[in-house]
Structure 1
């Protein structure tokens, strides 16, 4: 109050408590802005104290990062310097947060149906530790290190540690293409968690939504739905709001970024393998979600950090920003020696993706057409119709364009953009996102598909999106060309513009006789219902000479025959080993009722 009265008079020289003080208008303006940003009832928050303490370390560190430029030094001198004096408890606590070690070890939750690796236990304990102090978190481990299971362990822990009457549900927001994956993984690793899906045309609203959310432990929704239902979701108090693929809010001005940042939560968590893709403003937007105001306004961040670092490579500013972001960012890489010791040689995981509305309509029409035909067909004609439908259904799961009558581009007409092509298939959209993430880490991959049209489409989309050569080998590739492809892919000496790091192969042509150990990711874009054939293909990368762990990603379209047959393979129900390892001919022997059950599209995952 005294300060407010003092500056209200607008004098340059004032007498304050028996002393004459010269007032610098620029300094006064800075102090006023700092005071306006502070809650007058609460004083400095723990987040504020941490921020000030980390900035004060700059002085103690001296010029460890170099002198920087003169302009930056002048700006430093003009900035108000505040120091905080910490007691022993706070000093120790901040050291633990800043050094990212010695946080309390936690036993895995009793309801968790998974064996956590040591680094995953650390990650889960770190999330729980920051929650205790109301501090947000960005878990930014490499793809394949298990960010999903760490978050699920955290969600179980918060449920098991909360009193039932005080328990608040958590909200997970993710891209539409991984909604089904989250639903599957939650059911698999944490069956005791009650999960509600807020998505699709039949999703609840108003009081019905409030009641459903209160009964749930976890509510799942997509970024697009969160944006549409911002008012509804922001009317509810969440225990935690967790963003998967948090790079989806990298552009702070988008409607979905603004929407998710408006949601009230006791704790905020962002999961991403790529916290910065192109610009530092993307990092600011993620931090504006997990620890609002911590890095200042977007404009202030741009002036203070982004411009000096991106344009001038300012070492002093870089070191300062690193100090500020470190406490809230946990990033482990597969290359880290401690992580390598903890990883299995081969890590297989299923990636569940939904069908787009176009794919679902196409899938339904193919099934209905077959069921009508089966009323009249028998014998060899019946078998032929079933096998033909099986192929068409698999193609519909891959991409609707594989079944388009006319895909030719008219003369003078521009071909569709990679984004437009990927938007028609959730599988392709997901593959594109995962390949972009692993290429950002300079890793290489193999992609297996049974269909030539799909292989060519993936090659076209990835070449245009990645801006690098992408190889495609199928049964018609001559041996000499095939040998050159393998040599190029395995090379480490080619110029970047000539070095292929993505190799697409047909399952039959690429399944044997190849040594492609330069890759440490393998994607099965469509499934072959002979596990031995799939494993043989995976072994192109996982064999003698491979020095890293191999991540195997098997794509499965939710609600389709792909999911049904995968369930059968897992449980071995209805299938003996000799049936599984032969062909798909066994499907033709099923009754019409069994075929209807196997082929019909289930929509229970989405609420559509």
Structure 2
């Protein structure tokens, strides 16, 4: 640009407020857009000194585009280069003149919503004219600027206000909350109002009027005995042209109740004081009010009629001049109902005050409720004490509508009137025909002559507790669902209220003394546990004792079995108890029963020489307790199902978590007066496992498997539905007792459990094989689909986890020379192929040097055998190894030998390797105070179960838990997930490794790919 040249700046505002700025030198040569923005915005920080501004070509002229929200702030205080001789075009000069005042309006809050924009369905802001200087007001007058410029200026100002005051989500949310009427986007809500009236109506400006106009609905008993107002009152008009007086009594409509609607002026200082008025066909208001109100009435009444017509559907508001009924004419039942339900809401949305009968708010908030009122009496229909969930109970129907409580006959009588509003016992009742039909259908769906089962009563009570209808925060979809159905509730009699109260509240459990035959001192929580079992057993209700591992579920059950025998009036006729458990803990049950309850006769039904037929039946009748394994129960299902058991108890009940297995089906078929499940992990991965246990203890209580999946499992596991979660917790709670070691009330005084992670690198060999496995999988993902794709992913997952343990697991060859021909080089080479094995060997040596013992868990049988072989050679001492193929006798001998404190040093094992599935539950191995998890399991609950073999009652030393993780691999990612994973048993939400098969190829690459920097 030549020295001394003059740069003329021209501005054109778009209808959206953006400024198109172009420059000319000496009025003949256009400046390029790039050059102009570098000159004009050199000191403009908001646009990052012009670099963020776009350049647009308009009719071969390059213009700089200044966004609408920057226009007013920039021209209000432009910072310009001083060596340029700036000249401003007409609209640019006007903008420079107006912008400072407009910016002042923005900064001081002198702005308001724009009524014209609102009527067009938009939210825009306009300035307060009084805040502008007189010269500025003159400039924006019709002669000072053309119409298109003013539209653009309004848009730019609105954009500046939005950015400055409502540019954040929080500020925008505050605006919505404080002025909801701004977002109604209903032009009819502004009908008949000028700008000032509209700003008052939406709450933007304070209303100085001492009254507010309102529509009041009068029920038939509310009509005051007053004379009609005369002409000549304030707000003059011809009476003959007006509406009928709002308080005139009128004639009855065919004997129906007379409801009336009237227009009133409500005193703001005393809302109980109202002045009835009437509205003429031309919008004039007649009536009596305080003299001080007259100016406000004359100022504002002109738009009331138009606003009413705009707010209500055509035909709802008919004036005498329209040839229809007047506003104050009697309303029939249908019209009054329509006003209460629909028209009043429209008026409220349009900013009107609506005065309805006092009872309506509560009546409209509370849905009709259908209750089954249980008849008085302690037992079931048969007259016996109630026993089991199938016990039948008699009831009567009750219907609650608002505050009225109706018998079945009274409800049917009211419903037969086919009226929407009826007066009953001195109060008005709203009868919604749709809901009445729902109540009738709900009644018809239950055969009253057949009664209700105790299961029905219990579920209705649990799911109905605290449910007051659709006023508690449900979303719109849930409200619609509730409105479309009527929920049956239950009203308990005194006996059932006491029983169900005992089920739900620990403080109300009858506290029983320990049985005389029990050779153990029960802790307080154990006494509560066996008392709870006895309470449920008394009524034939199944129980799930789900205390943490190590809290003594075994002794609580034994105490209950002793109590059952000692408290029976006919002990000789008492049916025996059947305990089904994993093979690995049969010996433990024999020892515990003999230790704690030597008076109980125990029979073991297990092994090839077990009894059958009548011989078995005779033996079982002589026994108090029969012990068997899950596998044997499945083999002998028919014989065991034919025998009448008093109690069937499943120990480690998670063994039936898959309801489709043969052993799960077998134990369900056993007949028993009382069913009990013992488990430390009622849920490991999926809610279906909880259903399986509950379907054993209380068959049918949670519905069919398919119904449970649709009602609870799907919504909770996939959608994390909080309402369904709460419902399921309420249903489950009465039949599950779960205490944890760390609960303050338990007071176990256990030693500390210290968990630590041991991170190890992969060897070079492991790294190469790991990469190959991942690359092969990703290549196969390009062609595989469906079940083949899932199978390939799971196979690769297993291969990768085995690789992290030891590469030889893939070769299926990890044999070593016999001890008498030991090859130290071969052992060293085997160990060197796995960093995990190297580190484990070092740590176990330290443990043994300290004279302490340890447990080592692995999920792979081959790895367990390798660990036994390597450790026994390197430590030169016996190492035990327990897996699923070990016989019961051998298991018992291993456990006894490991726990022994009297074996000589050369014979005493100090290391016990266990398969996670075979040794992770039911064993007491407190001689160890170190636990090693050589490879990680997907579920932390399973790992915790395994750890609890050592960390349980009887442990006197701190327990050190070591979790091995191959860094940079899938194992590390699994560990990260386990850290954040919520256990399903705590909040019934979880997942298992099945989700991996649903990942995309890119997600699999992210999950599996090895981070090479961690390979040694």
SS of structure 2 residue aligned to 1:191: coil
Q: 2:612 — aligned with what? A: 205
- 2-side partners of 1:271 and 1:335: how far apart? 19
Q: Which has the higher contact order (CA 8 A, sep 6+)?
A: 1
**Are positions 1:424 and 2:832 aligned together?**
no
- Aligned pair count reads 387
Q: Structure 1 residues 407, 108: CA separation in 2 closer, same or farther (over 3 Å shift)?
A: closer
SS of structure 1 residue aligned to 2:580: strand
**Are positions 1:48 and 2:456 aligned together?**
yes
More strand by percentage: 2
CA shift at 1:147, angstroms?
A: 0.3
**Are positions 1:153 and 2:614 aligned together?**
no
Q: 1:108 — aligned with what? A: 514
Q: Structure 1 residues 285, 402: CA separation in 2 closer, same or farther (over 3 Å shift)?
A: closer
CA shift at 1:89, angstroms?
A: 2.3
Q: 1:59 — aligned with what? A: 467
- 2-side partners of 1:245 and 1:131: how far apart? 20
Alignment check: 8 A CA contact 2:882 2:915 kept = no
- 1-side partners of 2:915 and 2:863: how far apart? 17
Q: Structure 1 residues 230, 30: CA separation in 2 closer, same or farther (over 3 Å shift)?
A: farther
CA shift at 1:144, angstroms?
A: 0.7
- 2-side partners of 1:298 and 1:31: how far apart? 27
Alignment check: 8 A CA contact 2:600 2:625 kept = yes
Alignment check: 8 A CA contact 1:273 1:437 kept = no
- 1-side partners of 2:695 and 2:752: how far apart? 37
- 2-side partners of 1:407 and 1:270: how far apart? 38
CA shift at 1:165, angstroms?
A: 3.3
Among candidates 125, 146, 155, match of residue 531 of structure 2: 125
Q: 1:381 — aligned with what? A: none
- 1-side partners of 2:436 and 2:918: how far apart? 53
Q: 2:737 — aligned with what? A: 330
Q: 2:579 — aligned with what? A: 172
CA shift at 1:27, angstroms?
A: 10
- 2-side partners of 1:24 and 1:230: how far apart? 51
Q: 1:271 — aligned with what? A: 678
Q: Structure 1 residues 257, 70: CA separation in 2 closer, same or farther (over 3 Å shift)?
A: farther
Alignment check: 8 A CA contact 2:641 2:669 kept = yes
SS of structure 2 residue aligned to 1:423: coil
Deviation track 1:285-342 (CA, whole Å, cap 9, x = no partner) reads: 11111111111111111111111111111111111111111100100011111112x5
Q: Which runs of 5+ in 2 are unaligned?
A: 1-411, 419-432, 754-857, 871-880, 896-911, 961-1016
More helix by percentage: 1
- 2-side partners of 1:247 and 1:73: how far apart? 38
Q: 2:548 — aligned with what? A: 142
CA shift at 1:54, angstroms?
A: 0.7
- 1-side partners of 2:699 and 2:548: how far apart? 25
- 1-side partners of 2:555 and 2:512: how far apart? 15
- 2-side partners of 1:272 and 1:257: how far apart? 15
- 1-side partners of 2:588 and 2:629: how far apart? 12
- 2-side partners of 1:208 and 1:339: how far apart? 44
**Bigger Rg, structure 1 or 2:** 2
Deviation track 1:429-456 (CA, whole Å, cap 9, x = no partner) reads: 9762598679xxxxxx99579xxxxx9x
SS of structure 2 residue aligned to 1:101: helix
- 2-side partners of 1:23 and 1:309: how far apart? 29
CA shift at 1:522, angstroms?
A: 3.5
Alignment check: 8 A CA contact 1:436 1:466 kept = no
Alignment check: 8 A CA contact 1:171 1:238 kept = yes
CA shift at 1:123, angstroms?
A: 0.2
Alignment check: 8 A CA contact 1:106 1:121 kept = yes
- 2-side partners of 1:175 and 1:155: how far apart? 20
**Are positions 1:229 and 2:713 aligned together?**
no
CA shift at 1:422, angstroms?
A: 3.1
Q: 2:592 — aligned with what? A: 185
Q: Structure 1 residues 329, 402: CA separation in 2 closer, same or farther (over 3 Å shift)?
A: closer
Alignment check: 8 A CA contact 1:31 1:80 kept = no
Deviation track 1:362-402 (CA, whole Å, cap 9, x = no partner) reads: xxxxxxxxxxxxxxxxxxxxxxxxxxxxxxxxxxxx99999
SS of structure 2 residue aligned to 1:338: coil
CA shift at 1:56, angstroms?
A: 1.4
SS of structure 1 residue aligned to 2:700: coil
CA shift at 1:228, angstroms?
A: 1.0
Deviation track 1:244-275 (CA, whole Å, cap 9, x = no partner) reads: 00111111111111111111100010000001
Q: 1:89 — aligned with what? A: 495
- 2-side partners of 1:255 and 1:27: how far apart? 44
1:484-503 aligned at under 5 Å gives the runs none
CA shift at 1:88, angstroms?
A: 1.9
Q: Structure 1 residues 334, 213: CA separation in 2 closer, same or farther (over 3 Å shift)?
A: same
Alignment check: 8 A CA contact 2:555 2:596 kept = yes
Q: Structure 1 residues 112, 59: CA separation in 2 closer, same or farther (over 3 Å shift)?
A: same
SS of structure 1 residue aligned to 2:670: coil
Give the alignment's Cα RMSD to 1 decimal: 4.4
Alignment check: 8 A CA contact 2:884 2:917 kept = no
Alignment check: 8 A CA contact 2:882 2:918 kept = no
Alignment check: 8 A CA contact 1:100 1:327 kept = no
CA shift at 1:51, angstroms?
A: 1.3
Q: Which runs of 5+ in 1 are unaligned?
A: 1-15, 348-397, 409-419, 439-444, 450-454, 469-500, 505-518, 525-533, 543-608
Q: 2:325 — aligned with what? A: none
